[in-house]
Structure 1
Amino acid sequence: MATWTIDTAHSEIGFKVKHLVISTVSGKFNAFEGKLEGEPDDLLNSKISFSADIESIHTGNEQRDGHLKSGDFFDAAAHPKLTFQSTSIEKKGDDYKVNGNLTLKGVTKPVTLNVEFGGVQKSLYGQTVAGFEVTGKINRQDYGLTWSAVTEAGGVVVGDEVKLAANLELIKQD
């Protein structure tokens, strides 16, 4: 069974959440790692693990990033990492449903991620690389990310549904 690790220079881990119900705020994690134990073109018997450093959250707004790292949201001081560990994988046409446990802020819940396999190539440096696009949704309330506020008009400041999106390039390890 081969081991593949995320090439962080050619990968990104992001999220989107509604702000004031009318617009969307995007963010990403700048520091993360993960691995696939198995074969990328047939994930069925593979194991997938991933983690991201909460301190590396970046939304393009320093004040908002600080609020997200605080106890109101992720509580980075007490819970420095977000983690995912696969539990089962199903093939759906050419794509996969990866079931696993996502841990945020000390709370672990099952989640299903949609995984699209992009293919395998040789890099310019002779490495074997595989590409994936991963999407999913979670309810932030399920993980204790409960802070919110209501506007004067009665609108919610932060939506509960968080869309997850990752573009990943993995390098086969020798």
Structure 2
Amino acid sequence: MANEAVQEVAVAPWSIDPAHSSIQFKIRHMAIAWVRGSFRVRTGTLHLVKDNIAESRIEVDIDPASVNSGEVDRDTHLRNADFFDVARYPSIHFQSTGISGSPGSPVVAGDLTIRSVTRPVEVKVGEISAPTPDPWGSVRIAVTASVTINRKDFGLTWNKALETGGFLVGDDIFVDLDIEFVSNAK
């Protein structure tokens, strides 16, 4: 019976569980080292159509003010107008436009909006867990995914030239997502 409930819930809307989700990124510093950081997921929903993954859709809202690279001065700089300008742009938003590939390794195409600049991106899904009942009567799934974006495509152009050549901040941002979804459908 529990297995039947899990199968029924697999087609219901799912909400992101922000307490069990994370977005990690890394970007080159001075073309020699990586700076790593994270963002907090604010909200999101997944409408999963198990029998036809292409009809599924996802929407995610990320809090740019939550950026955390482990260095207070750098994080303050990332929040100001040189980068995310969180006072004017309090959200990073992703809305899927289509899903392709196999159910085991789909690619989610969508529109990513940063600083009111929207660009198409493709998120590669690496792993989707089986729906699993939790101790509180809900059902959960977890998804891992990754995407690479060029920060300049979104107006994040601040940089400093180095005396030795090159620039202080790299252009490509490598993003890893670990998202847990919960459904309360009975």
TM-score (norm: length of structure 2): 0.88
Q: Establish whether residue 163 from structure 1 lines up as the match of residue 163 from structure 2.
A: no
The separation in 2 between residues aligned to 1:11 and 1:41, in whole angstroms, is: 25
Unpaired segments ≥5 residues, structure 1? none
1:14-53 mapped onto 2 (5 Å cutoff): 14-39=24-49, 43-53=53-63
Unpaired segments ≥5 residues, structure 2? 1-10
Q: Which residue of 2 aligns with 1:113?
A: 123
The separation in 1 between residues aligned to 2:116 and 2:138, in whole angstroms, is: 36
Cα contact 2:92–2:113 (8 A) shared by 1: yes
Q: Which residue of 1 aligns with 2:144?
A: 133
Greater strand share, structure number: 1
Paired letter, 2:142: G
Q: Establish whether residue 89 from structure 1 lines up as the match of residue 99 from structure 2.
A: yes
- Quick one: which of 61, 67, 79 aligns to 2:71? 61
**Aligned CA-pair RMSD:** 1.5
TM-score (norm: length of structure 1): 0.94
* Sequence identity (%): 37
Query: Whose Rg is larger?
Result: 2
Cα contact 2:82–2:156 (8 A) shared by 1: yes
The separation in 2 between residues aligned to 1:57 and 1:68, in whole angstroms, is: 8
The separation in 1 between residues aligned to 2:29 and 2:23, in whole angstroms, is: 20
The separation in 2 between residues aligned to 1:124 and 1:22, in whole angstroms, is: 46
Cα contact 1:40–1:130 (8 A) shared by 2: no
